[in-house]
Chain A
Amino acid sequence: MAKRRIAYYLMTIPALVLFFAFHTFPAIKGIYYSFTNWDGFSKTFDFVGFKNYANIFKDENVLNSYLFTFKYAIVVTILINVLSLLIALGLNAKIKFKNFFRGVYFLPNILSVLIVGFIFNYIFANVLPIFGEKIGSAFLSDNILGSENWAWIGIVIVGVWQGIAFNTILYLAGLQTISKDLYEASSLDGASRWREFWSITFPLLASFFTINMVLAMKGALMVFDQIVALTGGGPGRATQSISLLIYTGGFQGGEFAYQSANAVIYFIVIIVISALQLKFLQKREMDM
């Protein structure tokens, strides 16, 4: 027994040490710096107490980035879940070239976000406008990433296009756990396809729905790479997400401590949202 316990310790402790050294310790240091006025490289810095935190709440740019990020995250989460569930249903059906399609739909997940971003950047800048001119649409003949009102849609498109792949795989795995007997029984009872989906498929996918909602939401709240590749946060501050604000302000603007405070607050916000989502959705799982 004791021997086996040693083996378990040997498995966990190295991971724990690495996790602490490269994850927990930097996070704690970040919290520490958020109470100082360090700019990221000076030899000396002072403690300023909660001044950074007080300033965050007075900063319109922070509010603006929260509004953008939440607008983006909610739209992306809904779109990803609806679309990937539809795709998963299709890929789970008896269709030709099923494996080929599964491969195609998974492809975006293995491409780097930055590369996808640059490709879409090219499409928005050069391909869509030509198409827009052909069909005579004034709206489509301009690069939508250059418009203050519509640039965020471009980022949503890229985020959804790439995000769907992973969630589709999870839904597909979920669909395969549902026993075929249930569908046979329901077809004997004469249930319609629609009825079948809402009474059998969807309830039995509940736990996959929960995890997909949480993962998609968390991913969307931390949106960063797509924005760097597509708009750099512009035009103006129209597509500046919280992560991007923390990065640009902290590393380019020399306000490391101030943006650390922003990061700490955001960390708490993400924990609260994930916890609420889990609580609400798991309760729903129980009810079903």
Chain B
Amino acid sequence: MMKMKKAIMPVLAGVLAMSMLSGCGSKSDGGASGDAVKIEFFQNKTEAKATFDKLIAKFNSANPNIKVTQVNPPDAETVLKTRVAKKQIPDVIGIGATDTYSTLSKSGLFEDFSSDPLTKNIQPAYLDMLKAQTGLSELNGIPFSTNANGVIYNKAMFKEMGLTVPTTWDEFMATAQKIKDAGKVPFYLTLKDSWTTLIPFNGMEPGVVGIDFFKQRKEGTVTFKDKFREVADKQLQLLSFGQKDMFGKGYNDGNVAFAKGQSVMYLQGVWAIPEIQKANPSIELGVFPFPATNDPSKNKLVSGVDTLLTVSKSSGHKAEAKKFIDFLLQSDNAKQYITEQKAFPAVQGVTQDDPSVADLKPAFEKGDLVDFADHYIPGAMKVDTIIQGFLQKKDVDAYLNSLDTEWDKVANRK
């Protein structure tokens, strides 16, 4: 009985949070702005709340007949799911291209933007990513900002040791070996937090195997056993360049340790940069794409949609909702967002000019981008847990086997 209670608690909490939200909504309905159309903008990034507030204020004053309000609850994805279950879907939604996005898209909750003029100025690579991720012919969201994942390196230490940014796997390993020989730690690994094991996995998978693999796996024409041995070997190879007690350290430990110069490189996404700079504001760092293979043309930058914008099919004010999205996509507004958020733009013609991510600029300009591989793996598989277990046991065959059996098991339960 207690067990049930535990399982039901988060749902109850969600329902409570929802009723509070709807309470706020109805209050503002009777507000002073008279017959202005109310648009609810729901988004999941707490870091971006202030930036969105500024943009919304700008939009509201330019459009007196529309009033946009922002909703940004903690644990937003769960709140969104409960609101969907209650059929109170917000008008405009901003979330990451996560498993939540795909499952909600598949249940047909969002507008189809495939022939919408709003997509005109968006990097095509990201539009394709969203479609590939859901596997639908519809396009259910408009990419707004993106992130990237690769290898963060300490520029000052690289210069001091005479190292250059590696572009192939062999160069990458040689660089790591040189650092190790000099008595320093090449990578600070944070394997206690299982999700961080996904960073090198996502970095290697597209170059070594290719994102298409997951589609073929669904059709049953390939297996992990056939294709993933190289990824597995490389995952193990990275371990030999980690620090002591790598299984005992987590993401926060890693950010601080790298900031203090305890390792020369750090396998993380650009989202860690503000955290690292907080721990050491004077650090000189850079990011390069993960050199997964020995063919530099195959080593694309792993970059996914950090925030996408979409409109609920059940919204009563779709025209106004789209007007708001159009406003956010205008280049000066998009620029303001990515500058304040240190994110990358999905809108063409807008650039992120922060010096710490200058090495990634060519990849963005050429559109040499590839999506996060784990977005194509069902969430119920908990692939990060499988990888974490593998890195402990170091048994490649057992690892490949469990990837296959877990995939089949989850598919079979659907």
Chain A positions near chain B (C-beta within 8 angstroms) = 22-23, 26-27, 30, 37, 39-43, 51-52, 55, 58-59, 124-125, 129, 141-148, 218, 222, 224, 231-238, 240, 243, 246-255, 258-260, 263, 266-267, 270
Say yes or no: B1 contacts A263, CB within 8 Å.
Answer: no
Please tell me if B82 contacts chain A, counting CB pairs below 8 Å.
yes
Say yes or no: B389 contacts A254, CB within 8 Å.
Answer: no
CA distance A70 to B244 in the complex (A): 32
Say yes or no: A263 contacts B7, CB within 8 Å.
Answer: yes
Interface secondary structure of A, over-half rule? helix
Please tell me if B104 contacts chain A, counting CB pairs below 8 Å.
yes
Find B4's partner among A30, A231, A240, A253 (CB 8 Å cutoff): A30
Q: How many residues from B make CB contacts under 8 Å with A?
A: 50
Q: A237-B389, A252-B379 are in contact. Are A247 and B6 (CB under 8 A)?
A: yes
Say yes or no: A143 contacts B248, CB within 8 Å.
Answer: yes
Chain B residue at minimum C-beta to C-beta distance from A250:
B7
4 smallest A-B Cβ distances: which pairs?
A: A143-B248, A236-B389, A146-B247, A253-B380
Say yes or no: B247 contacts A143, CB within 8 Å.
Answer: yes
**Residues of A close to B103: CB separation below 8 A:** 39, 41-42, 254
The stretch that binds A, out of B168-176, B189-197, B315-323, is B189-197
**Residues of A close to B5: CB separation below 8 A:** 23, 26-27
Say yes or no: A248 contacts B7, CB within 8 Å.
Answer: no
CA distance A23 to B128 in the complex (A): 46
Say yes or no: B413 contacts A236, CB within 8 Å.
Answer: no
Say yes or no: A146 contacts B389, CB within 8 Å.
Answer: no
Please tell me if B218 contacts chain A, counting CB pairs below 8 Å.
no
Say yes or no: A235 contacts B244, CB within 8 Å.
Answer: no
Chain A residue at minimum C-beta to C-beta distance from B103:
A254
Interface positions, chain B 217-237, Cβ under 8 Å from A, are none
Say yes or no: A255 contacts B247, CB within 8 Å.
Answer: no
Scoring B residues 101 to 116 as 1 if CB is less than 8 Å from chain A, else 0, what string do you get?
0011001000000000
Find A259's partner among B7, B99, B104, B247 (CB 8 Å cutoff): B7
Say yes or no: B382 contacts A263, CB within 8 Å.
Answer: no
Say yes or no: A247 contacts B7, CB within 8 Å.
Answer: yes
Say yes or no: B2 contacts A222, CB within 8 Å.
Answer: yes
Say yes or no: A255 contacts B3, CB within 8 Å.
Answer: no
